[in-house]
Structure 1
Amino acid sequence: MNQFSIIKVFIIMLAIAVGSCSKTEDIVKPDVIHWNYEHPDWQTQGFSECAGPIQSPVDIQTNSTIKVDLPNLDFNYSAFPIKIIDNGHTLQVNNNGTNRVVYNKKTYDFKQFHFHYHSEHLLDGVASDMELHLVHQDPSSGALLVVGYFLKKGVANSLFESVLSNWPKQKETEVSTTTSIDLNSLLPSDNRYYTYMGSLTTPPCSQGVMFFIVKTPIEVSSAQIDQFKAHYDHNARPVQPLNSRLLYEDIL
């Protein structure tokens, strides 16, 4: 398959995402049915789409990715005060209406970010210490774009510390704070990525989500990881079958 054919297939993949998009309410609405990570067979618990053919996360096998020059992820982020919630499954920081990402000339509004311990996606069968998901949405179609970053043990991360230090005392209640963060300080300079069509990794597991897993990990300290782990020591969905999906790797 030549590069033109690969890009054509990728554009078709993006069109499928718009046609089978998930809505914001799937991300932020309260649980109607209780679910947990101890029993992740959620399709038997009233979330039938969790058994769908294009589920996330997946194991990224680098020897079988389609390597090509893909569009950049252009982040248009600025500082904003934290609105934070412990939703009973993870720690989540919600949007303030000003941040967005542009991909393939389409703008997606930033909605929220949250964390998983350990990483949900695997890289050649190996999990990272944690994973960060930045969730965005096309305001016109409702299509979701999620950018994932592996978090690994290293030096302390000041933005992560700001988030952890504002952990709400009560679950399922959003707390507004005076602490301001700038996601630009978190992101690595190299945002080349792996990408594929997937789903939300929590119920209702809505499909048609564009997933981008950035190759360059973000460092956080062991103490910061332990602090998150003290609240959630297992909130990662098991990897799902890739089935017939294509997994692309941005190489330039």
Structure 2
Amino acid sequence: MNQFSIFKVIVIVLAVSIGSCSKNEDVVTPEVIHWNYEHPEWQTQGFSECAGTIQSPVDIQTTNTIKVDLPNLVFNYSAFPIKIIDNGHTLQVNNNGTNSVTYNGKTYAFKQFHFHYHSEHLLDGVASDMELHLVHQDPASGALLVVGYFLKKGAANPVFESVFSNWPKQKETEVTTTTSINLTTLLPVDKRYYTYIGSLTTPPCSQGVTFFIMKTPLEVSGAQIDQFKAHYDHNARPVQSLNSRLMYEDIL
């Protein structure tokens, strides 16, 4: 890695350390105040941080990205039984504490993954069919790292099939299943990414979240898209202004 790349990585790490969310409940606790996607002006509904200047999602404009050689994301994933919840806003799978991702020497524990229809992030102004967010957290500082994948219509995804077939009948109640999945099978060979500092895309919109949007999309069948859409046909927050933030693109 050249000196310019190292400097950019340091900037990213410092931004995470300064602005990171430090409370586990921001990731996993159900919201006390009701909110919805029909009225996403959440800052007027008691979530003041949603009006911040470091918000997600954003439109990734590839002509404006800073193209550098960045550290690899190292996924430490293994099979685990599905613990699943329909939380009233999306379908979410919680981990049993065994998985993690390592970035730039720091390990973040995998907390949960969930889906959005359509994609929340845009790529040069274009939305994908869906988006997958894998949420990780540094146990020491509480800093959040989210790995996002664009999902495009194509072949059926076996992992998503296992998840959707266990959709709970009752909302806001976690269900433990005997079905195991291994997120390693999701990962593409090309693990390059776009990265920037943003926020949770749902209330309380906590800022200082490091987002990694993978450049290679994952395939999901039309039937699987329709199955999710039947439950949530609009759970994507509108894109937010990038403001003075920088968007980095891993090129090697």
What TM-score do you get using the length of structure 1 for normalisation? 0.98
Pair 1:178 & 2:171 matched: no
Residues 53-99 of structure 1 show CA distances to partners (whole Å, capped at 9, x for unaligned) of: 10000000000000000000000000000000000000000011000
Q: Deviations over 1:133-163 (max 9, x none)?
A: 0000001110000000000000000000000
Output the amino acid matched with 2:190.
D
Quote the residue 2:25 is aligned against.
Answer: 25
Matches within 5 A, 1:229-248: 229-248=229-248
Partner of 1:191: 191
Distance 1:63 1:30 in 2: 38
Q: Where does residue 95 of structure 1 map in the other structure?
A: 95
Partner of 2:113 in structure 1? 113
**Residues 69-88 of structure 1: pairs in structure 2 closer than 5 A:** 69-88=69-88
1:60 touches 1:123 (CA, 8 Å); kept in 2?
yes
Aligned-residue offset at 1:6: 4.5
- Give yes or no for contact 2:200–2:209 (8 Å, CA) kept in 1: yes
Deviation at 1:31, TM superposition (A): 1.1
Once residues 18 and 192 of structure 2 are traced to their aligned partners in structure 1, the CA distance between those partners, rounded to angstroms, is 26
- Map of 1:9 onto structure 2: 8
Unpaired stretches in structure 2, ≥5 consecutive residues:
none
Q: How many residues align?
A: 251
For structure 1, which segment, 92-101 or 3-12, has the greater mean C-alpha deviation from structure 2 after superposition? 3-12
Whole-angstrom CA distance in 2 between matches of 1:9 and 1:99: 27
Question: Residue 53 of structure 1 corresponds to which residue in structure 2?
Answer: 53
CA contact (8 A) 2:5 2:70 kept: no
Contact 1:57–1:201 under 8 Å retained in 2: yes
Matched, 1:142 2:146: no
Are the counterparts in 2 of residues 100 and 108 from structure 1 also a CA contact under 8 Å?
yes
Q: Deviations over 1:155-207 (max 9, x none)?
A: 00000000000000000000000000000111111110000000000000000
CA RMSD in angstroms comes to 1.1
Q: Post-superposition, which runs of at least 4 consecutive aligned residues in structure 1 deviate over 4 A?
A: none
SS at match of 1:5: helix
**Which secondary structure does the structure 1 equivalent of 2:216 belong to?**
strand
2:248 corresponds to 1:212: no
Q: Secondary structure at the match of 2:227?
A: helix
2:250 pairs with 1:250: yes
Q: Is the 8 A contact 1:18 1:142 kept in 2?
A: no
What TM-score do the two structures reach when normalised by structure 2? 0.98
How many percent of aligned residue pairs carry the same amino acid? Answer: 80
Q: Which amino acid aligns with 1:210?
A: T
Q: Partner of 2:239: helix, strand, or coil? A: coil
Distance (whole Å) between structure 2 residues aligned to residue 82 and residue 106 of structure 1: 26
1:14 positional shift: 1.3
